[in-house]
Amino acid sequence: MRELLPGTSASRGMALGRARLVQPSRYLVDTRPLGEDEVDAEIEKLHRALATARQELHELRGKLHGALAREVNEFIDAHSLLLDDQELLRGLDDLVRIGHYRAGAALKKQRDRLAKVFEAMDDPYLRSRKEDVDQVIGRVISALQRQTSREERKLAARVGEILIADTIAPADMAHLAGNGLLGVVTSSGSAYSHSAILARSLDLPMLVGTRDALSTIHDDDLILLDAERAETIVHPTAQDLARYRAWQREAAQEGRRLATLANAPTRTRDGLDIHLFANAEMPADLAMARARGADGVGLYRTEFLFLKHKGLPSEDEQFIAYRDLVLGMGGLPVTIRTLDLGADKADAAGLALRGEDNPALGVRGVRLSLRYPAVFTTQIRAILRAACYGPVRVLVPMVTQPDELIAVRTLFKLARQELKRENVDLPEKLPLGAMIEVPAAALNVRALLEHSDFLAIGTNDLAQYVLAADRGNDGLENIYNPLQPALLRLIAYVIAAGRRAGKPVSLCGEIGGDVNFTALLLALGLCEFSMHPSQILHVRDRLAALDRAELRRHAPRLLRAYTHEQVEELLAGIGG
């Protein structure tokens, strides 16, 4: 019988396939007390499951390559650390040995204990880490069940399947997408989570918040995932299937039409030229950016060089990567962001920092770089050497106050003097910009502009900090909304300040590549967008239908709104 399950669209599109449930009975475990003579065997079974889960993560890391690896490896590292946490492991052993819990029941008990601890935390970032605990414990329970049941299915993609889960880690999504996965439906999660962002970059349809998915859908059910209407249809009818086939034909036709825009100018309906840049970190990103007619690279992430292996990358290793980036863009401008790591990832990069209770508000970005001037100088030297091969700009992340930019400029000046003495070719000019993602930087932007040649607004973190809401926390969807008036006023203020100073301002956050926000950003005065290369043609097409002058006339009303609902209503009224 046909059933319709509503959700929230995290990545648009449609898919028809058979359901594959991830751990459909993940916490339906054997609760019978364990006999004394069974304890040792149960401990061994538990340890085997933990070892299997560790091995799976290790193998998964080895399979991930390209632009997804840096983003995904962060989560693999976090999950690996949890699996090696001595407090967690001792607690599990004690539950089996002393409490006579069976392995699955012990895992569930520890999961419930840790979930309560995380849920009680005041800090939204730490509260959101409960999802990591769920995913790690789920992985171990899955491994445990596979030891005893041949029917337990592996968490792996098969062509023609749609994944149904409570949540999905970015690492698993990246792996499954490479093996033919058609779409994802989760019972929880946020449209702004890392997994949702990854799904959009992969063009993988995804629904989140489909509350009854795991209880209603069964393995091998035929389902139609409709992320256009934000619904999942179980056992679709002939009428549903006809609608899906019609969508397929329209999508193919639309794809062919968008492909013709690859070499078209980016211009609004009233004739204003707009610059579309690409966010990138791997050669595949650069190839896609060139193929889709990007105006250059607006954000090149350098962290992957520091995270792809233990230890710090040498100056020559960095130079080669940056040089190839510049050459790969064939004379188009490239913006290289300096190292943007926090204490939670610094150790993996070979930088020792004491643990921080809240790394999102700790020593990260430029704060970390200035803490290690020798390491930072190595990166600066590599960038200076590469900048001789084409136009390069340098973007400094997590800037809070002007003295950080002054310190960075000093290091660049000293590195330039060193290289000059070594008779190394140097660029005549290297523009230095500040990334605006800290509220203090946005509010004090005029002071930063005294020491910046350009600005880039990082709305992902700026929104989190302004709204004090983790974007991955589905319990805060009513708060974490890019249409929140406080955030819009800050964005507009930064753009206006840059315009008055005669310095370019780009936006490189997730909303930059989301056509749902294009009209709004145009209304706020933005003329430079930076996004995942897969979104360039969509945004170019959207811009061609918009009258920038008309939208600008509505900006005062948008900025006077009190709530994000009012902003939505105003945008609907002006065709945004």
Give the model confidence (pLDDT) of 446-488 as tens digits. Answer: 999 999 999 999 999 999 999 998 877 777 878 889 999 999 9
Which element (helix H / strand E) includes 170?
Answer: helix 170-177
**Reported confidence tier of residue 100, pLDDT bands at 50, 70, 90:** confident
* pLDDT, mean of residues 101-124: 74
Rg (CA), the chain: 25
3-245: CATH number: 1.10.274.10
- Residue 575 corresponds to which tokens in the numbers above? 């065709």
Which of 79, 175, 508, 554 does the annotation list as catalytic? 508
Residue 143 pLDDT > 80: no
Distance CA 206, CA 204 (A): 6
Single-letter code of the amino acid located at 300: Y
Residue 114 pLDDT > 90: no
Distance from the Cα of residue 495 to its chain's centroid = 24
Helices and strands, number each (H, E), in the chain? 25, 16
Q: DSSP letters of 294-358?
A: -SSEEEEE-HHHHHSSSSPPPHHHHHHHHHHHHHHTTTS-EEEEPP---HHHHGGGT------S-
C-alpha distances out from residue 161 to 16, 90, 182, 232, 245, Å: 8, 38, 6, 14, 17
Which of 79, 175, 194, 532 does the annotation list as catalytic? 194
Residue 145 pLDDT > 80: no
Q: DSSP letters of 82-100?
A: HHT-HHHHHHHHHHHHTT-
**Reported confidence tier of residue 309, pLDDT bands at 50, 70, 90:** low
What string of H, E and C letters represents the secondary structure of 444-489? CHHHHHCCCCEEEECHHHHHHHHHCCCCCCHHHCCCCCCCCHHHHH
- Do the bridges between strand 505-507 and strand 528-531 make them parallel or antiparallel, or are there none, so unpaired? parallel
Segment among 148-162, 187-201, 300-314, 455-469 with least mean pLDDT: 148-162
CB 262 within 8 A of CB 293: yes
Look at residues 130, 144, 133, 160 and name the one whose alpha carbon lies nearest to residue 220. Answer: 160
* pLDDT, mean of residues 528-534: 95
- Residue ranges per structural domain of the chain: 3-245, 296-437
Q: What share of the chain is helix, strand, coil (3-state, %, to 5)?
A: 55, 15, 35
Spatial CB neighbours of 541, under 8 Å, sequence gap ≥ 6:
258, 261, 515
- Residue 454 corresponds to which tokens in the numbers above? 């350009």
pLDDT of residue 25: 43
Half-sphere exposure of 399 (CA within 13 A, CB side): 34
* pLDDT, mean of residues 4-18: 92
- Do the bridges between strand 231-234 and strand 505-507 make them parallel or antiparallel, or are there none, so unpaired? unpaired
Distance from the Cα of residue 147 to its chain's centroid = 34
User: pLDDT digits over 381-397, tens only?
Assistant: 999 999 999 999 999 99
- DSSP one-letter code for 180: T
What burial letters (b/e) apply to 425-439, b meaning 16+ CB within 10 Å? Answer: ebbeebbbbbbbbbb
- Residue 52 corresponds to which tokens in the numbers above? 């299997």
- Do the bridges between strand 275-280 and strand 297-301 make them parallel or antiparallel, or are there none, so unpaired? parallel
* pLDDT, mean of residues 205-210: 94
* pLDDT, mean of residues 309-328: 90
370 vs 31 pLDDT, higher one: 370
Look at residues 395, 506, 500, 497 and name the one whose alpha carbon lies nearest to residue 446. Answer: 497
| pLDDT averaged over every residue in the chain | 85
**Start-to-end CA span in the chain (Å):** 39
- Residue 172 corresponds to which tokens in the numbers above? 């698993």
pLDDT of residue 493: 98
Q: At what angle do helices 564-573 and 485-500 cross, to 10 degrees?
A: 70
367 vs 179 pLDDT, higher one: 367
Helix (H, G, I), strand (E, B) or coil at 506: strand
pLDDT of residue 149: 35
Single-letter code of the amino acid located at 213: A
pLDDT of residue 21: 82
Starting at the edge strand found earlier in the chain, the sheet holding 231-234 runs: 3-6, 231-234, 222-226, 14-21, 161-165, 183-186, 206-208, 8-11
Residue 158 pLDDT > 70: no
pLDDT of residue 157: 36
pLDDT of residue 72: 58
Query: Would you say domain 296-437 falls under CATH 3.20.20.60?
Result: yes
Q: Is 527 noted as a catalytic residue in this protein?
A: no
Distance CA 324, CA 283 (A): 9
* pLDDT, mean of residues 237-264: 92
Q: Is 194 noted as a catalytic residue in this protein?
A: yes
* pLDDT, mean of residues 506-518: 94
Look at residues 306, 305, 307, 309 and name the one whose alpha carbon lies nearest to residue 322. Answer: 305
Distance CA 453, CA 381 (A): 20
Single-letter code of the amino acid located at 433: G
Sign of CA dihedral 532, 536, 537, 540: positive
Residue 302 pLDDT > 60: yes
Which element (helix H / strand E) includes 517?
Answer: none
CB 233 within 8 A of CB 223: yes
**Reported confidence tier of residue 153, pLDDT bands at 50, 70, 90:** very low
Spatial CB neighbours of 171, under 8 Å, sequence gap ≥ 6:
57, 60, 61, 64, 72, 73, 75, 76, 79
Q: Give 457's strand partners.
A: 436, 507
User: pLDDT digits over 322-372, tens only?
Assistant: 999 999 999 999 999 999 986 556 555 557 566 667 777 888 899 999 999
507 vs 77 pLDDT, higher one: 507
177 vs 245 pLDDT, higher one: 245
**Reported confidence tier of residue 67, pLDDT bands at 50, 70, 90:** very low
Q: Give 3's strand partners.
A: 234
Tell me the residue length of the chain: 576
- Residue 358 corresponds to which tokens in the numbers above? 């809240």
Segment among 203-207, 264-268, 309-313, 549-553 with least mean pLDDT: 309-313
322 vs 48 pLDDT, higher one: 322
pTM of the model: 0.73
Q: Give 276's strand partners.
A: 529
Residue 400 pLDDT > 90: yes
Q: What percent of the chain has pLDDT over 70?
A: 86
